[in-house]
Structure 1
Amino acid sequence: MRAQPLPGARLIRDWNGHRYVVDVVENRFVMDGKPYRSLTAIALKITGAKWSGPRFFGL
């Protein structure tokens, strides 16, 4: 079982010269003020490719 980040956590990932900041809130993630249901959806948005969201963020 993989550990999930707790609400209040902040995930930071540098990708292609840009820093992405994701806030963990109850039952979702927020990046640039937009809510996402999963880290995988955020990784897809950032990279344009299918990634494991937790792996992309180093969890």
Structure 2
Amino acid sequence: MRLSYGKLTRAVRDEPSTRDPALKPGGRLIREWNGVTHVVEVVEGGFLWKGQRYASLSPIARAITGARWSGPRFFGLKRSA
């Protein structure tokens, strides 16, 4: 099977272990929103927030803000375009 460059790039980008080397199990993301400090634990295969497990940061950002945010952008992992 032969992968095009675009498919290969997407496959690497979507691979959880290559997303962001700074996000390793045991790490924490901290964000203050409207006077409340939110702590998200990085765990194998996802994130923990308020005792619930999430596969990505976006649903956490959405729950905190009530709006559709990019999780990585909300937690300061990506810069604005």
Give the structure-2-normalised TM-score: 0.68
Aligned to 1:8: 26
Higher strand share: 1
Asked which structure has the greater CA Rg, the reply is: 2
RMSD, aligned CA: 1.3
Give the structure-1-normalised TM-score: 0.91
- Structure ranking higher on relative contact order (CA contacts 8 Å, 6+ apart): 1
Task: Figure out how many residues of one structure are paired with residues of the other and give that number.
Answer: 59
Higher helix share: 2
Percent of aligned pairs with the same residue? 59
Structure 2: state its 5+ residue gaps.
Answer: 1-12, 14-18
* Offset of residue 6 of structure 1: 1.1
Tell me how far apart the structure 2 counterparts of residues 6 and 17 of structure 1 sit (CA, whole Å).
27
